[in-house]
Amino acid sequence: MTNSPFTPGIAPARLDAQTLSANFDDLHPPLDGHEALVAADRCYFCHDAPCITACPTSIDIPLFIRQIATGTPEAAAKTIFDQNILGGMCARVCPTETLCEEACVRETAEGKPVEIGRLQRYATDTLMAAGVHPYARAEPTGKRVAVVGAGPAGLACAHRLAMHGHDVALYDAKEKGGGLNEYGIAYYKAVGGFAEAEVDWLLKIGGITLHTGKALGRDITLEGLKAEHDAVFLGMGLAGVNALRAEGEGRAGVLDAVGFISDLRQAGDLAKLPVGRNVVVIGGGMTAIDAAVQSKLLGAENVTVLYRRSREAMPASRYEQDLAASKGVRFIFNAMPVAVLGNGSVTALRAEYTRSEGRSLTGTGETFDIPADQVLKAIGQTLEGAPEGIEITGGKIAVTGAGRTSLPGVWAGGDCAAGGEDLTVTAVAEGRDAAEDIHASLIG
């Protein structure tokens, strides 16, 4: 974090250790065996289950719930992992309320869906706790594939390639694998070092060598990877941060929300993490919500989320909005930042009310000030370090089919690639499908 604990208004240890521990405990505690059986009993086991269609990785949800109901959670986990090798993390962070659970017949009929996400966690945690890896590698093919980015897309791609017998070199710019699962999600969604443990468990397949601290364009090049490997998959995510484009953006106390969350995720002692007394978060996605809620849980007195469009247009789900509101976070809609006020350090954020005119957004000319000693930017990330000569569309790597880029022998998936939603589960699906296409290409 760029601010020191001595920046005016920003300080550590606003709450005692016991309160912090309680605040950052598991958001959805795991089901025990009896609770899982009760939850599984609510499933209708639909033949044409709409929940499967709603899942980006197409997990056979009725099957794995039936396997839980019949007392075989390990088999249920295998059903999940066959489609989504990061099923454990997805059970924790997927917006199930807008995916499988929203499509659940119970939700349609009763307004209370089957708890698919918690059941998935019960199954995957049971198998992972056994310390075994349910997959074995095929006979070695002699083919070598480089995977850039050890986030959800890269991990899913590497694992599926290793299953097929290929040797995989997995590179990541950070010091740990996991990508946003390790560095970019709310602390209370994946407690107990789960992200790191999941990577270690995934690597038990064998055939994958993880190289950390290796960034594309800085430490490795696409040309070099292509020369030494039979194929390359790019899944490095989005490392750049959009500018606020507001006067005074450079004042002390203005931070990138992703960096704020990363510092929190890696903090050994939450009491040492400084937070403002009055925090304003700018943005409307999951990063904005995660940053706002965690600011409040760290002891910020007033936390405001400022979003330029209406509540209905907000990318974060209504569930997440309500979660934030329940923690005391205030929302201001139809307003955009125009200036960061202060003398060296931020003291307030000046915003202007907006109105929508078709697809365009314009300011009304009416402004107001929000007291702030810390401003967190959650206004989207950008692609950095794209290899020269690769086609870019909409600021991301252009892909066709199962992730094929404009360069022969190079695939891409996850947040850095154009196409799907920026969700962990979508990135897993893209990495998995690209691996199958790479495999077909290599053995064809």
pLDDT at 2 over 50: no
Contact present, 324 and 300 (Cβ < 8 Å): no
Q: Record the pTM.
A: 0.95
Mean of the per-residue pLDDT values for the chain? 95
pLDDT digits (tens, 9 = 90+) for 150-161: 999 999 999 999
* 4 compared with 380, residue with greater pLDDT: 380
> Any residues with CB less than 8 A from the CB of 352 and at least 6 apart, and which?
335, 336, 338, 363, 364, 365, 366, 367
With pLDDT > 90 as the criterion, what percentage of the chain qualifies? Answer: 91
pLDDT digits (tens, 9 = 90+) for 91-117: 999 999 999 999 999 999 999 999 999
Average pLDDT over residues 205-214: 97
Select from 101, 212, 390, 289 the least CA-distant residue to 403. 390
Q: How does residue 77 score in pLDDT terms, banded at 50, 70 and 90? A: very high
Residue 112's φ and ψ, nearest 5 degrees, are -140, 100
Q: What share of the chain is helix, strand, coil (3-state, %, to 5)?
A: 40, 20, 40
> Any residues with CB less than 8 A from the CB of 251 and at least 6 apart, and which?
340, 342, 344, 345, 346
Q: How far apart are CA 11 and CA 6, in angstroms?
A: 7
Average pLDDT over residues 46-60: 96
- pLDDT in the model for residue 132: 87
pLDDT at 355 over 60: yes
- pLDDT in the model for residue 5: 43
Select from 120, 122, 124, 182 the least CA-distant residue to 150. 182
Q: How does residue 359 score in pLDDT terms, banded at 50, 70 and 90? A: confident
Average pLDDT over residues 346-367: 94
Q: How does residue 293 score in pLDDT terms, banded at 50, 70 and 90? A: very high
Q: Which helix (H) or strand (E) holds 120?
A: helix 116-129
pLDDT at 388 over 70: yes
Helix axes of 286-297 and 318-326: crossing angle, nearest 10 degrees: 10
Average pLDDT over residues 241-249: 91
Contact present, 271 and 12 (Cβ < 8 Å): yes
Average pLDDT over residues 127-143: 95
DSSP 8-state secondary structure symbol assigned to residue 137: P
DSSP 8-state secondary structure symbol assigned to residue 204: G
Q: Tokens 């923690």 appear where?
A: 327
Residue 342's φ and ψ, nearest 5 degrees, are 145, 175
Average pLDDT over residues 242-255: 93
Domains in the chain (CATH in brackets) are 33-129 (1.10.1060.10), 144-239+383-443 (3.50.50.60), 242-381 (3.50.50.60)
Average pLDDT over residues 170-190: 96
Average pLDDT over residues 29-56: 96
- pLDDT in the model for residue 3: 46
Contact present, 9 and 300 (Cβ < 8 Å): no
Q: With the C-alpha atoms ordered 94, 95, 100, 105, is the resulting torsion angle positive or negative?
A: positive
Residue 115's φ and ψ, nearest 5 degrees, are -80, 70
Tell me whether strands 278-282 and 374-377 are parallel, antiparallel or unpaired: parallel
Structure tokens at 282: 């700018």
Q: How far apart are CA 152 and CA 158, in angstroms?
A: 10
Residue 133's φ and ψ, nearest 5 degrees, are -110, 125
Average pLDDT over residues 74-85: 98
Contact present, 312 and 275 (Cβ < 8 Å): no
Q: How far apart are CA 57 and CA 38, in angstroms?
A: 25
- pLDDT in the model for residue 183: 95
pLDDT at 4 over 60: no
Q: State the DSSP string of 148-212.
A: E--SHHHHHHHHHHHHTT-EEEEEESSSSS-THHHHTS-GGGS-TTHHHHHHHHHGGGSSEEEEE
Q: How far apart are CA 262 and CA 239, in angstroms?
A: 13
Tell me whether strands 240-241 and 381-382 are parallel, antiparallel or unpaired: antiparallel
Contact present, 89 and 201 (Cβ < 8 Å): no
Q: How does residue 79 score in pLDDT terms, banded at 50, 70 and 90? A: very high
Structure tokens at 136: 């074995």
Point out the least confidently predicted range of 142-146, 267-271, 288-292: 267-271
